[in-house]
Amino acid sequence: MHTSYFLARLIGPVQAVLAIGVLANRDVYREVARQALGNGALVSLSGILALTGGLAILNAHPRWTPDWRSLITFLGWLLCTVGVFRIFAPDLVRYLNVPANFTAITIAAILLLVSGGILTYQGYAAEPQRPRKET
């Protein structure tokens, strides 16, 4: 199985389920985000985990292609960026406290659902194209 399909099968369902859970329980996740962002240790730890996850994705999938596979690479870069930001500026992350806003939570959940849906479909339902044999 190609790395792209493996990562799509791993990332897609997690994103989709998380997005559905957030949309179904916005009040709960707003409070969870508020508490997590209020704790500097959790902000720093989540930064370390995000950076590690992003680097793992980019080491396995460093390519930009003109199709859905670039979404995986984009997510790797996004995780790295968020991780570095949370490690270097945990107080700024706590100050911004974006998840306290219902609109921000809803938009983030919808983006996660779309991204997760695309990756899940591509990983499980779409037919992988087999490379042509050169003659």
pLDDT digits (tens, 9 = 90+) for 4-26: 999 999 999 999 999 999 999 99
Domain-located, residue 135: no
**Residues 6 or more apart from 135 whose CB is under 8 A from it?**
none
Structure-token pair, residue 125: 């339902």
Give the tokens for residue 124.
Answer: 């499980």
- Domain of residue 69 covers 3-125
Q: Are the CB atoms for 27 and 124 separated by under 8 Å? A: no
Q: Which residue has the tokens 């499980």?
A: 124
Q: Is residue 134 part of a domain?
A: no
131 has a pLDDT exceeding 80: no
pLDDT at 97 over 80: no
Q: How many domains does the chain have?
A: 1
**pLDDT tens-place string over residues 35-57:** 888 888 999 999 999 999 999 99
